[in-house]
Amino acid sequence: MAKQVGIALTFIMFLLLFTAVGIYSATRKQNTTTDYLLASRNVNPWLTALSAMATGQSGFLFIAQVGFAYKIGISSLWLTIGWAIGDYLAWYFIFKRLRQLSEETASDTVSSFLSQNMKGSRFIAIISAIITIVFLVQRGRNA
């Protein structure tokens, strides 16, 4: 019984903490879309990198990599090492330049970035938005 009370109290404390963070965030005024979507571009690059990597690889690293290591053995570590090196190279060479270009063109989304770097092609923005929506709908169906 004491264990269940402890679990319930911990859950309630986290719920209150998340509610407080939500209320605090809601009281801070966001003036523009950039403020809302990109946190006014004031987020530390390392925090952004960690968030992106945790989001993109959580399912693979915590589920699939374990099964792969069980099946293949110690040599499966090469996949993890290669993945980490590839992520670092992508962040260093590609995403650094992508951030600079997106700041120069004041792009808030991938669609706006692509359209502004293709001589303002609205067609590119529409196709990019459609691809994004189709991906998100399909992703939602498989959740």
Residues 112-137 pLDDT 10s: 888 877 765 778 888 888 998 998 89
pLDDT of res. 30? 67
Query: What would the pLDDT profile of 17-37 be if each residue is shown by its tens digit?
Result: 999 988 887 777 667 777 777
- Closest Cα to residue 106, out of 32, 44, 3? 32
Predicted TM-score (pTM) of this structure: 0.56
Residue 43 region by backbone torsions, left for phi larger than 0, else alpha for psi between -120 and 50, else beta: beta
Q: Which residue has the higher pLDDT, 72 or 32?
A: 72
